[in-house]
């Protein structure tokens, strides 16, 4: 697997407060790598250090064999968290402006722009002024601007925020195609865990500027996605909490969710359930990436473990 971007031992402080502690990860050609974490975890600061908007106090960023200020940034595409386009400029002109900034041939850029406008449902909008677009439409134009020059590495900071579900699906599809068909290395920051779970190959989760989890999605799920058992029936929380292998219980109405520990053997555990439990319905699932994320954000077992899988 060819490494396109390598981040090693990144540290950054603002006014004496350390917000990044020893952040290290790679992004490979043709993969979608997610950078995840609660608000204020340090995702955007990491991305800004990669983009050279600021430089780290320690550590380094390597793109192919280029480091720091020598990185050829025209080979990188970037959709920043802060959205913004010049208002009284036509859609095509702003996209061509992005292409020009990256030294990309204008004729080719125009053809690509028309094709992407069509793909993203903005056919015929090329001569419309940016101020006449809705927020979501503007975001699509900015997205096109970030990929118009066929970047080898694409960094997307919260690409789905503010998009309706249909547009989210279109973006998701497009991002997957860029990775699978064009071999673009993609670093994606997002809070939409369901989308991340459907898209990413690997993930890097940080909390308070520190690595918590790093590895392929399937390994992360195998390691952290414990079973949970939902029971519909009239049961007391204290009885359920007393059952073997139950780490915590959440109740809403007559539904109880029992979170189970890693050591469980499911068939034998089901046999140990006492006969006096009221079980009208019972379902067992693995917890989702969303729940793994919530565990990390709330400092439950995963964060305490400071665990990582092998990337």
Ligand X SMILES: Nc1ncnc2c1ncn2[C@@H]1O[C@H](COP(=O)(O)OP(=O)(O)OP(=O)(O)O)[C@@H](O)[C@H]1O
Q: Does 159 bind ligand X (CB under 6 A)?
A: no
Task: Report the 10 Å Cβ neighbour count for 292.
Answer: 26
Looking at beta carbons only, is 205 or 246 nearer to ligand X? 205
Task: Report the 10 Å Cβ neighbour count for 311.
Answer: 15
Cβ 14 to ligand X shortest distance, Å: 3
8 Å CB contact between 215 and 203: yes
Which one of 42-50, 115-123, 220-228, 264-272 is the stretch in contact with ligand X (CB under 6 A)? 42-50
Sheet holding 17-28, edge to edge: 17-28, 3-14, 58-63, 66-67
Which one of 43-51, 88-96, 112-120, 128-136 is the stretch in contact with ligand X (CB under 6 A)? 43-51
Residues 279-308 that bind ligand X (CB under 6 A): none
> Cα(139)–Cα(161) distance, rounded to whole angstroms?
9
> Cα(290)–Cα(299) distance, rounded to whole angstroms?
14
Looking at beta carbons only, is 81 or 197 nearer to ligand X? 81
Of 4, 5, 33, 41, the one binding ligand X by CB under 6 A: 41
> Cα(178)–Cα(173) distance, rounded to whole angstroms?
9
Looking at beta carbons only, is 152 or 158 nearer to ligand X? 158
> Cα(34)–Cα(311) distance, rounded to whole angstroms?
13
Q: Which residues contact 9 (CB under 8 A, 6 or more apart)?
A: 22, 23, 24, 58, 59, 60
Q: Does 211 bind ligand X (CB under 6 A)?
A: no
> Cα(62)–Cα(153) distance, rounded to whole angstroms?
12
What Cα–Cα distance (Å) separates residue 270 from each residue in 42, 232, 243, 261? 41, 15, 11, 14
Task: Report the 10 Å Cβ neighbour count for 56.
Answer: 22
Q: Does 14 bind ligand X (CB under 6 A)?
A: yes
Looking at beta carbons only, is 78 or 259 nearer to ligand X? 78
Q: Does 43 bind ligand X (CB under 6 A)?
A: yes
Q: Which residues contact 267 (CB under 8 A, 6 or more apart)?
A: none
Token pair recorded at residue 89? 């400029």
Q: Does 37 bind ligand X (CB under 6 A)?
A: yes
x/- letters, 74..113, toward ligand X (CB under 6 A): -------x--------------------------------
Looking at beta carbons only, is 139 or 235 nearer to ligand X? 139
Looking at beta carbons only, is 89 or 294 nearer to ligand X? 294
Looking at beta carbons only, is 81 or 201 nearer to ligand X? 81
Of 26, 33, 42, 289, the one binding ligand X by CB under 6 A: 42
8 Å CB contact between 175 and 188: yes
Of 9, 40, 124, 299, the one binding ligand X by CB under 6 A: 40
x/- letters, 45..74, toward ligand X (CB under 6 A): x-----------------------------
Of 39, 127, 181, 265, the one binding ligand X by CB under 6 A: 39
* Residue ranges in contact with ligand X by CB under 6 A: 14, 19, 37, 39-45, 81
């Amino acid at each position: 697997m060819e490494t396109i971007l390598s981040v090693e031992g990144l540290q950054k402080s603002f006014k004496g407060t350390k917000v990044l502690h020893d952040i290290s990860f790679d992004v490979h050609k043709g993969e979608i790598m997610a950078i995840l974490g609660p608000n204020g975890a340090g995702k955007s600061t990491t991305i800004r250090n990669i983009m050279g908007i600021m430089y780290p106090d320690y550590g380094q960023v390597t793109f192919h064999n280029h480091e720091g200020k020598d990185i050829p940034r025209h080979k990188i595409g970037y959709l920043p968290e802060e959205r913004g386009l010049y208002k009284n400029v036509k859609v095509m002109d702003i996209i061509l402006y992005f292409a020009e900034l990256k030294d990309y041939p204008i004729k080719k850029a125009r053809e690509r722009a028309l094709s992407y406008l069509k793909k993203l449902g903005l056919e015929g909008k090329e001569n419309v002024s940016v101020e006449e677009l809705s927020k979501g439409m503007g975001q699509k134009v900015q997205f096109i601007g970030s990929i118009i020059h066929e970047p080898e590495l694409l960094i997307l900071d919260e690409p789905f925020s503010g998009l309706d579900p249909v547009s989210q699906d279109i973006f998701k599809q497009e991002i997957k195609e860029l990775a699978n068909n064009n071999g673009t290395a993609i670093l994606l920051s997002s809070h939409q865990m369901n989308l991340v779970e459907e898209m990413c190959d690997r993930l890097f989760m940080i909390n308070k500027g520190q690595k918590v989890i790093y590895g392929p999605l399937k390994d992360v799920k195998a390691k952290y996605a414990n079973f949970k058992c939902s029971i519909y029936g009239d049961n007391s929380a204290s009885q359920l909490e007393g059952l073997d292998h139950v780490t915590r219980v959440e109740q809403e109405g007559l539904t109880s969710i029992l979170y189970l520990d890693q050591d469980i053997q499911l068939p034998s555990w089901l046999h140990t359930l006492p006969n006096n439990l009221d079980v009208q319905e019972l379902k067992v699932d693995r917890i989702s990436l969303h729940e793994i994320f919530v565990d990390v954000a709330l400092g439950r077992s995963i964060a305490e473990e400071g665990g990582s899988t092998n990337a």
